[in-house]
Every structure is written in C-alpha cells, then in structure tokens.
Amino acid sequence: MNDTLPIEVTVNGRLRSFDVAVNHTLLEVLRDDLGLTGTKECCVVGECGACTVLVDGTPMNSCLMLAVEVDGSEVMTVEGLGLEGKLDRLQEAFLDEGAAQCGFCIPGQLMSAHALLAQNPHPTVEDVNEALAGNLCRCAGYQQIRAAVLAAVQGGGR
C-alpha cells in the first residue's frame, strides 16, 4: 500500500516533481503533501464539490482522482486564483455579494465558477445554477453565489 510513483505536475503555475503514494487521491496530495489546504474535504465520494480543482482547465472532484492521474497535467486550486496578492474578479464579487458565509464550500464554488466563465463568458442564471449544481452550500448562499458569478461577468475587466 505504500508504493509510490514519481509525478510531474504544474500546480498553480509552478512545475513540481515529486513522489506520491499510488493510493492517494489528488485531494490528499494537495492537502497533505503540498500543504495546499484551501481545497476542502467533505464527502469524499464526489457529491459535495468542496474539493473541486481545475485539471487542465476542467473542474474535477479531486477526491475522485488518484494523484498519479495528474502526471503531466496542470492543476489549479483556489490558492492559484488572483495575481500577486490581488483578488480576481470572482473573489471580489463573492465578497461584495456576501456569498461566503461559513466559507467551507467557497473554494470549490470559486473553482467551478472559474471554469464556467472560462468556457462561457456570459452565462445565464440557469447556466450558473447548472455549473454550480455539484457544489453544495449548507449555509445555502446559492443566491448570493449566483449573484456574485453574474456580477463578476458584469465587472468584466476588473
């Protein structure tokens, strides 16, 4: 069970080469090996979306991927949003709209929203509901989260 394999992966723009346990998920490796704890663990069965990260631009439940599967890929986590200490437009909009309450689901929501806007720069309300349907929020700030995504679109170039 403690077999390891070397992988090479770009995480938040930084190329890293290291060994991972073959039985460890991407979520475990991000949190436990790389210390990137912004990605959250909740259901571990791909239902809650708290662990959503982008793998080559596609939102994935990192609890359902083995870390060895991302060898050669680009992974982006919530820590990769924003540049040089400045929040990106989605993060700003989440603050403006009061979208983050307890905050535990927010990294996953942001990653799903980021992928949505990359693919569909002008989403409708239904598009947002659909794109974020895999990210549970028990504080149930869905309306604030949706408003934030739509506001980020309005804010455009910020």
For another protein, the binding residues (CB under 8 A) are 1-2, 21, 23, 28, 31-32, 35-45, 47-48, 50, 77-79, 81-82, 87, 91, 94-107, 110, 128-130, 132-146
| Shortest reach from residue 137's CB to another protein, in Å | 7
| Shortest reach from residue 120's CB to another protein, in Å | 16
Q: With respect to another protein, which residue has the nearer C-beta, 10 or 101? A: 101
Q: With respect to another protein, which residue has the nearer C-beta, 8 or 127? A: 127
| Shortest reach from residue 101's CB to another protein, in Å | 4
| Shortest reach from residue 141's CB to another protein, in Å | 5
Q: With respect to another protein, which residue has the nearer C-beta, 26 or 110? A: 110
Q: With respect to another protein, which residue has the nearer C-beta, 70 or 108? A: 108
Please state, in angstroms and rounded to a whole number, the distance separating the CA atoms of residues 25 and 67.
5
